[in-house]
Amino acid sequence: MYHYYMFHKPFGCVTARRDDHYPTVMDYFSELHNDNLNPVGRLDRETTGLLLITDDGMWNQKLTHPAYHKEKTYEFTVLGDLTKERIRALENGVLLKGAASLTSPARITITGHNILSDILPSLHPEVQASISSNLPDHPVTFGTITITEGKKRQIRRMMKSVHCCVIELKRISIGSICLDPQLKPGEWKEFFPD
């Protein structure tokens, strides 16, 4: 009997079993005493949101292997102005530094705009410290992006390629599985995939 868990990954923990410097996502599941549990894919330390944990290796592979092209949707906040031209470039595919081919097509929806001084207090203290040297009226863009790949730090690198800097990133869905809005960061629940 396999187990499937939906986890709201908080900022600051790494997607690993063990780490010498940071807490890991698996620390949150130690009470289950199930050494066969593994994360489905990865989220970097600064990214929050939906992370699935399972002991079903075949199901894990179906969600993560590039051949299956599972859509993953994220909410983002970037420092910079995502113009129509920049959005078009991201949607058509961009060349990431060190890559040989363009990223696969993405879908982007812009949900709002602001300036840095208005949102700075709501950001994680670590992020505040890293961007505090920017001008207070620096433009900020909010939106969602859907990708089908999972290259390392892909969305951050995509945004950098169009001169924007990701300051918040939260995964909200993988395929048809959506993050339960009742789950707070650090909380998880068992669920039963279709």
Give the range of the structural domain holding residue 160, as residue numbers without chain letter. Answer: 71-174
Q: Would residue 194 show up in a list of annotated catalytic residues for this protein? A: no
Q: Is 170 left (phi over 0), alpha (psi -120 to 50) or beta?
A: beta
pLDDT band at 18 (very low <50, low <70, confident <90, very high): confident
User: Do 163 and 84 share a structural domain?
Assistant: yes
Give the CATH number for residue 47.
3.30.70.580
CA–chain centroid gap for 134, Å, is 24
User: Do 114 and 46 share a structural domain?
Assistant: no
> Into how many domains does the chain fold?
2
Are β-strands 188-190 and 4-9 bridged in parallel, bridged antiparallel, or unpaired? Answer: antiparallel
Q: Which residues contact 124 (CB under 8 A, 6 or more apart)?
A: 11, 12, 46, 168
Answer yes or no: are the C-beta atoms of 6 and 186 closer than 8 Å.
no
| pLDDT of 66 higher than 80 | no
User: Do 30 and 55 share a structural domain?
Assistant: yes
CA–chain centroid gap for 137, Å, is 26
pLDDT of residue 44: 94
User: Do 167 and 90 share a structural domain?
Assistant: yes
User: Do 180 and 169 share a structural domain?
Assistant: no
Give the CATH number for residue 134.
3.30.70.1560
Q: What is the average per-residue pLDDT within 151-161?
A: 92
Task: Retrieve residue 33's tokens.
Answer: 């005493």
pLDDT of residue 105: 92
Residue 89's φ and ψ, nearest 5 degrees, are -60, -45
pLDDT of residue 103: 92
Global pTM? 0.94
User: Do 163 and 81 share a structural domain?
Assistant: yes
User: Do 78 and 149 share a structural domain?
Assistant: yes
- Give the angle subtended at the CA of 185 by the CAs of 110 and 112, to the nearest 5°: 15
- pLDDT tens column, 112-141: 999 999 999 999 999 999 998 999 999 999
pLDDT of residue 100: 87
pLDDT of residue 117: 95
Catalytic residue, chosen from 19, 27, 44, 81, is: 44
User: Do 138 and 47 share a structural domain?
Assistant: no
